[in-house]
Amino acid sequence: SDLQKQEERGELLQPLIFVLLVLCSVLLYFKVSLMDPGFVKAEEELKAGKSEEQSMVIPQVPSNLKMRRCGYCMVKQPMRAKHCQVCQHCVRRYDHHCPWIENCVGERNHPLFIVYLSVQLVVLLWGGHVAWSGLYFEQSWEWLQHNILLLVSFLLIVIFTIVVLLLLISHLYLISCNTTTWEFMSHHRISYLQHSELENPFDQGVILNLWRFFC
């Protein structure tokens, strides 16, 4: 049959990989959006021990800088945590609240968020290539009527690809500096950054920053 011939020629492999990538992207989306981004627990749980990252930074931050109590949920915030007004929780290593996933991006789901963006970018680039290969341009109204949906789909894919690419690049840059979107945008308002001798006391070099984040 035609299906068997296509399989023998390897023509079904690419569509199968594309479908698997789309499925992986959907699963990652639900995983990132539904998982705990790193909500700060009750104060008694917080005293159980300091995070490795916080203890490493303390020598470069004034010793009299105490943990701040959140004015909303009344828990003591560890360093780099912030209260999210949408989620109504303090989030460890808070990066931002993402409206696309309706969840915060924090200590626990930030690496998966980067993986999700990467897979999504591959899917969009592949989809854009497929849409472009199906377009053949003619200057006629009849051509536009038959190809309007494909043309609009291609333009939407291009827009989303640019957005995802810029978002991924910006996040990878911040990760390589061991800073977060919130710290980058609000550096002048964060006490542990204002009183630090270094501009970014968390930076340990690009390689170590990436290693600690992903591994």
Tokens 């790193």 sit on residue = 38
Q: Assess if residue 24 is contained within a domain.
A: yes
The percent helix, strand, coil of the chain (3-state, each to 5) is 55, 10, 35
Amino acid 54: pLDDT: 47
**CA–CA separation, 215 vs 213, rounded Å?**
6
Read off the pLDDT band of 178 (50, 70, 90): very high
Run of H or E including 118: helix 110-133
**CA–CA separation, 162 vs 160, rounded Å?**
5
At residue 108, φ and ψ (nearest 5 deg) are: -85, -35
Q: Has 98 been annotated as catalytic?
A: yes
Name which residue leads in pLDDT, 135 or 158.
Answer: 158
pLDDT per residue over 65-92, tens digit each? Answer: 566 788 888 888 888 999 999 999 999 9
Structural domain for 153, as ranges: 2-37+97-214
Amino acid at 190: I
Q: Among the options 98, 104, 177, 215, which is catalytic?
A: 98
Q: Which two tokens stand for residue 26?
A: 């959907």
How many domains is the chain built from?
1
Q: Assess if residue 171 is contained within a domain.
A: yes
pLDDT per residue over 99-146, tens digit each? Answer: 999 999 999 999 999 999 999 999 999 998 888 876 666 666 676 677
Q: Assess if residue 28 is contained within a domain.
A: yes
Tokens 């542990």 sit on residue = 192
Amino acid 51: pLDDT: 47
Q: Assess if residue 90 is contained within a domain.
A: no
Share of the chain above pLDDT 70, in %: 78
Q: Assess if residue 156 is contained within a domain.
A: yes
Helix (H, G, I), strand (E, B) or coil at 74: coil
Report CA-CA distances (Å) from 103 to 25, 27, 185: 17, 15, 19
Q: Assess if residue 173 is contained within a domain.
A: yes
Residues in the chain, how many?
A: 215
Share of the chain above pLDDT 90, in %: 50
At residue 168, φ and ψ (nearest 5 deg) are: -65, -45
Name which residue leads in pLDDT, 17 or 195.
Answer: 17
Helix (H, G, I), strand (E, B) or coil at 120: helix
